[in-house]
Amino acid sequence: MITSIIDNHKYRAMNPTLRNHIGYSEAILDDNASFENFFQWADLLADKLNISFTRKLDDFEALYWDFLYKGTTLTLSYNIFNGITVFPALEERSDAFENVAIAELVDKLKDASPDEA
């Protein structure tokens, strides 16, 4: 029984959601993730959206990888408190088109699974 619950969690399709901050939107890819899951999501984004990462900042408790999508720079992020998210690199200084890009990214990733990568 426990094995089947763990297996279902491991291989479940994720359903990314939007969270709004003051001034920008953030896509929540997985709010209960690990470093390994981050790399799976990075591979999925690279394959499914045909993007490449332009800047990578790896820290002890967090990862921040920038990429271009729809003409704007977005950040794929992992930290131990918030899980895996995508947000505009400019955060509070972002414009409406960057928030639209985040919403489009969430739509493209509906029911995506990092295990596909």
Confirm if 17 and 27 have CB atoms less than 8 A apart.
Answer: yes
Where residue 42 falls (left for φ over 0; alpha for ψ -120 to 50; beta otherwise) is: alpha
CATH number of the domain located at residue range(s) 18-110 in this protein: 3.30.160
Confidence bin at 8 (pLDDT 50/70/90): very low
pLDDT digits (tens, 9 = 90+) for 18-77: 677 677 788 889 888 888 899 999 999 999 889 999 999 998 889 999 999 988 899 999
pLDDT for res 95: 72
pTM of the model: 0.80
Pairing state between β 83-88 and 17-21: unpaired
Confidence bin at 2 (pLDDT 50/70/90): very low
pLDDT for res 9: 40
pLDDT digits (tens, 9 = 90+) for 60-105: 889 999 999 988 899 999 998 888 999 888 766 667 767 788 888 8
Confidence bin at 1 (pLDDT 50/70/90): very low
Displacement of CA 85 from its chain's centroid (Å): 4
pLDDT for res 101: 84
pLDDT for res 117: 55
